[in-house]
Amino acid sequence: MDHPAHTITESQNMRTTRHVFNVILRDPLALISTVIIIFFILIAIFAPFVAPYPDQGQGSTNASDTMHPPSAKFLLGADRLGRDILSRIIYGARPALVVPIGVVLFAVLIGAPLGALAGYKGGWVDEVIMRITDLFLAFPSLLLAMAIAASIGRGLDKAAIALVVSWWPWYTRIARGAAVSLKEQYFVEAAQAIGVSDTVIIFKHILPNTLSPILVQATVDLGTVILAMGGLAFIGLGTQPPSPDWGLMISEGRTFILDQWWISTYPGIAIFIVVLAFNLLGDTLRDIFDPRQYK
Amino acid sequence: MRAFEFIFRRILTAIFVLIGVSLITFSISHVVPTDTAALYLGSTRARPADLERIRIKLGLDRPLPVQYAIYMKDLVHGDLGDSIATKRPVLQELTDRLSATLELLFFGMFIATLIGVPLGVLSARWQSTWADVFVRIISIVGVSMPAFYLGLLMQIAFFRNLDLFPLSGRVDSNLRFTNPIDPVTSFFLLDTFLTSNWIALKDVFHHLVLPGFTLAAYPIGLIARMNRAAMLEVLGQDYIRTARAYGIRERVITYLYALKNAISPTLTVIGLTVAYALTGTFFVEVIFNWPGLGLFTVRSLLALDYPAIMGMTLLGASGYVLINLIVDLLQMWVDPRIRLK
């Protein structure tokens, strides 16, 4: 069974999706950013086929070419263990992109329903959820993530868990704001009037309509989460050697920065370009629908 | 009276938040799979009897709620426990390093405000011209550049290639013999100034430049962007149109009428960026070997020095809560409408 109100919101969603595509196609910066992001996602997926030295990309050492400067053999040079930097950047795109996308996804999956519940229910439920949220927001996010990552043990997966724990409250806040204004709308009141249960209302009517502000915020956050993952790896709490990771590569080359500058410089450029692309895309999306209007 | 009530309520909330925060930091350090007693002895193969003795000494044999109660009791008395790595009181370790970090943080935020706010105003006043495009590029590059990468680029450019600024550290080690710094406040810029130690002042400043700008990059980007948005919003309002209709010069409108009303949102952003900069100091201190809280925290994190980690997370959260409180009070002072609400 479909409520008429629900059908209307669905067609609205379709229309906004098409609108977003049109805007991205027309805005050159957003288009380039999207192309860059897709490019990096593709090389992350097809890493074994595009990397010149797939085994070195994954960590196996090559003692005969330590600190090899950029050349025809190693386009971007080789590191302390003789591994091709280009191959490691290509393999490093996996943790750099896939993991932050997963982090934001899980943070949304935890944060958004809680926020929708708080906003829709109000009263003590709202009070309890939002006060807990406030506690997590009282920390600088990265500091909290560092402390959690250190205590549950180092590693890419642990760093990801730590970031999810410190990131979900942001989405709770946004979803709550959206839910509070949606609660007053006719289609929600109509659903209540015909006796639809709260759970169904929250998941079928409230949550889908909080999606657009949350998606915008998530795109904007992706750049920040990529930086945070890189930062955790840089100080030694994220990906552990010999796995490839851009932040870790920068840290590994730090000691040799004045002479073998290529070890740190190229992975740094990779992080910078990807974060820049997400920020530019996020800016465009934010111009289309400003998530702050729900706060 | 209203203002007093507002301040009182905000401080009370802050205290409750900090109690909750202590619960979180306590939980983080007690869900750990590692054995703190073994860490304390510096060996995983210590004799069981020794481990047991340390466990009892550290109170690890008591139930968790009791441990939390003891932790809170010590906390109220200003005791954050002893660092496992250095065996010194954590509070001592933190206060010894606080001034180095604060000096870097203030210097960085000072640069960021000094550059970010004018950039935002410029960008809004000359909206859609090349100046606007230029500022927007600067701000997006600023927020996209990892501090732990920018620092290295700074070292390559300004130490290796141009030899303008020192590679790392807070002060040249030779100064200890030629022009020793008298630690009046432990803020070296201030100390050297107060004691007229000009040679040391110049050296301290030189050491601050690269880490300061590295730290400032992100805040510059964020402040410029937010200030631009705030200015544009104000410039679109009726009273500005009226002022224009009266033939008041654009410069006067921008700096006298518009900027004043854009200050309140800009203050919020500056407060927010201080929090970012606080975690930014961790990376900057690691890269520039800056003897502050960040370097200490990163070492403690890697060594699983829990008392130190707990102390630092607590300090970080308190600092954050304090900054937010200050921003709220400043806003109340800048914008009377908040007081009357």
Contact check, Cβ <8 Å, B302/A236? yes
Tokens of B206: 């030189």
- Cβ distance B278 to B270 under 8 Å? no
Contacts of B217 in chain A (CB under 8 A): none
Contact check, Cβ <8 Å, B304/A271? no
Contact check, Cβ <8 Å, B286/A230? no
- Cβ distance B147 to B255 under 8 Å? no
Task: Please list the alpha-helical segments (H only) found in chain B.
Answer: 2-30, 36-41, 48-58, 64-76, 90-125, 130-144, 147-154, 175-178, 188-194, 198-235, 238-245, 250-252, 259-287, 293-303, 306-334, 336-340
Compute the mean pLDDT over every residue in chain B, rounded to the nearest whole number: 84
Predicted confidence at residue A293, as pLDDT, reads 44
Domain assignment of residue A268, yes or no: yes
Domain assignment of residue A69, yes or no: no
Predicted confidence at residue B144, as pLDDT, reads 92
Domain assignment of residue A67, yes or no: no
- Residues in contact with A161: Cβ distance below 8 Å, sequence separation at least 6, in sequence order: A148, A149, A152
- Cβ distance A291 to A216 under 8 Å? yes
Domain assignment of residue A9, yes or no: yes
Domain assignment of residue A111, yes or no: yes
Choose the weakest-confidence range: B42-46, B53-57, B273-277: B42-46
Q: Is A84 helix (H, G, I), strand (E, B) or coil?
A: strand
pLDDT tens-digit profile of B226-277? Answer: 888 888 888 888 888 888 888 888 888 888 888 888 888 888 888 888 888 8
What is the Cα–Cα distance from B301 to B242, expressed in whole angstroms? 58
Contact check, Cβ <8 Å, B317/A279? no
Contacts of A135 in chain B (CB under 8 A): 17, 20-21, 23-24
State how many domains chain A has. 1
- Cβ distance A96 to A47 under 8 Å? no
Domain assignment of residue A253, yes or no: yes
Predicted confidence at residue B32, as pLDDT, reads 63
Domain assignment of residue A249, yes or no: yes
- Mean pLDDT computed over B104-123: 92
Of residues B74 and A2, more confidence is placed in B74
Among partner residues B146, B159, B160, which is closest to A231 by beta-carbon distance?
B146
Ranges of residues in chain A whose predicted pLDDT is under 50: 1-8, 291-295
Contact check, Cβ <8 Å, B316/A140? yes
**Domain residues for A122?**
4-55+82-294
pLDDT value at B146 more than 80: yes
First to last CA, chain B: 13
What is the Cα–Cα distance from B212 to A43, expressed in whole angstroms? 36
Predicted confidence at residue A294, as pLDDT, reads 42
- Using CB atoms within 10 Å of the CB of residue B335, give its burial: 0 to 12 exposed, 13 to 18 middle, 19+ buried: middle
pLDDT value at B191 more than 80: no
Scanning every residue of chain A, which has its alpha carbon at the shortest distance from the alpha carbon of B274? Answer: A140
pLDDT tens-digit profile of B301-321? Answer: 988 888 898 899 999 998 888
Instruction: Provide the number of CB pairs (under 8 Å) joining chain A to chain B.
Output: 138
Interface residue ranges in chain A relative to chain B, Cβ cutoff 8 Å: 131, 134-136, 138-144, 146-153, 223, 227, 230-231, 234-237, 247, 250-251, 254, 257-258, 261, 264-265, 268, 271-272, 275-276, 279-280, 283
Contacts of B313 in chain A (CB under 8 A): 139, 143-144, 147
What is the Cα–Cα distance from A265 to A269, expressed in whole angstroms? 6
Among partner residues B152, B309, B317, which is closest to A138 by beta-carbon distance?
B317
Domain assignment of residue A77, yes or no: no
Give the domain CATH number at A34.
1.10.3720.10
Percent of chain B with pLDDT over 70: 94
